[in-house]
Amino acid sequence: MNLLELRGVRKRFGGLQAVRDVTLEVRRGTITSLIGPNGAGKTTLFNLITGIYRPDVGSIRFQGEELVGLRPHQVVQRGIARTFQTVRLFTNLTCLENVLAGQHCRSQAGLWASILRTGRQRAEEARVREVAQACLELVGLEAAAHELAASLPYGDRKRLEIARALATQPTLLILDEPAGGLNESESHALMELILQIRASGVTVLLIEHDMRVVMGISDEVAVLDQGRIIARGTPSDVQNAPQVIEAYLGRPGEEALI
């Protein structure tokens, strides 16, 4: 069964049809990439899946359950975590505290339990810290656990955001341009990390502009152009599809409109 299924999803903002009739499946255990020119509607699609926007029409099913109508924090509880295109960390909190936030939805200590420090609350707190620590170790930031997120260099911030998303213990991890702004060795390390995440059993859905990353690690690629999926398949299928070349480069013989 497909892990995530979008059927006929549309979203309009005023006069702009940002997403028109998208149907897309993400198979369990894969790395699926969503590519397309700027403004194609990729991030909008992510925001629709994660509950930040609500589609005008269409259904989004995750593990068989309808997601449309759920609020973002409920979507996270169902097992979908995300990162942001423009890194959105809690900059005045430490790295560890950032990652601990991801465990919020996997713990339940309430007001009184937290004040009285009941046995169950202490056990939960210990477990939550263990998970957070493990996530920091996975991205190689355990030494920076007590640094403020604001003090990290850019590449580490992106890794911290991934660790924070993983701390929600997701089934599906959605990464919005994780390689954006990274240098070559950093994006190489990122590819390793994403493969490692898949190996641990988490399905990955990726928006990415860096074609080396996309072609290097994706099991499946979908191409979005002007709010529509115009091609799907393995990286090599998509690379050679004429409609994809056209979307990126324009039609042969067409005048440049400058």
Q: Count the residues of the shown chain that bind other proteins, applying the rule CB under 8 A.
A: 46
**Please, which of residues 70-89 interact with other proteins by CB under 8 A?**
71-73, 76-77, 81-82, 84, 88-89
Stretch that binds other proteins, among 24-32, 106-114, 192-200, 214-222 (CB under 8 A): 106-114
Angle of helix 154-166 versus helix 184-199 axis, rounded to 10:
10
Among 36, 41, 55, 102, indicate the residue that binds other proteins (CB under 8 A): 102
Strand partners, 65: 62
27 vs 73, which CB is nearer to other proteins? 73
Report in angstroms how near the CB of residue 256 gets to other proteins at its nearest: 38
161 vs 225, which CB is nearer to other proteins? 161
Report in angstroms how near the CB of residue 105 gets to other proteins at its nearest: 3
1 vs 126, which CB is nearer to other proteins? 126
68 binds other proteins (CB under 8 A): no
17 vs 118, which CB is nearer to other proteins? 118
Alpha helices in the chain (DSSP H): 42-49, 72-78, 95-102, 111-116, 119-138, 154-166, 184-199, 211-217, 235-240, 242-249
Report in angstroms how near the CB of residue 137 gets to other proteins at its nearest: 17
Give the largest CA-CA distance in the chain: 74
Q: 165 near 102, Cβ under 8 Å?
A: yes
**Please, which of residues 145-184 interact with other proteins by CB under 8 A?**
146-148, 150-151, 164-165, 168
Among 12, 28, 104, 209, indicate the residue that binds other proteins (CB under 8 A): 104
Distant-in-sequence, close-in-space partners of 121: CB < 8 Å, separation ≥ 6: 109, 113, 114
33 vs 47, which CB is nearer to other proteins? 47
Among 8, 39, 69, 122, indicate the residue that binds other proteins (CB under 8 A): 122
144 vs 229, which CB is nearer to other proteins? 144
Q: End-to-end CA distance of the chain, in Å?
A: 47
Report the C-alpha gap between 99 and 159 in whole angstroms. Answer: 11
**b (16+ CB within 10 A) / e for 92-120:** eebbbbbbbbbbebeeebeeebeeeeeee
The pair of three-digit structure tokens given for residue 1, joined into one six-digit string: 């069964």
Report the C-alpha gap between 21 and 148 in whole angstroms. Answer: 42
Of the candidates 142, 11, 34, the one whose C-alpha atom is nearest the C-alpha of residue 82 is: 34
134 vs 230, which CB is nearer to other proteins? 134
Q: Residues in the site for other proteins, rule: CB under 8 A?
A: 50, 52, 71-73, 76-77, 81-82, 84, 88-93, 97, 100-107, 109-111, 114-115, 117, 121-122, 124-126, 128-129, 146-148, 150-151, 164-165, 168
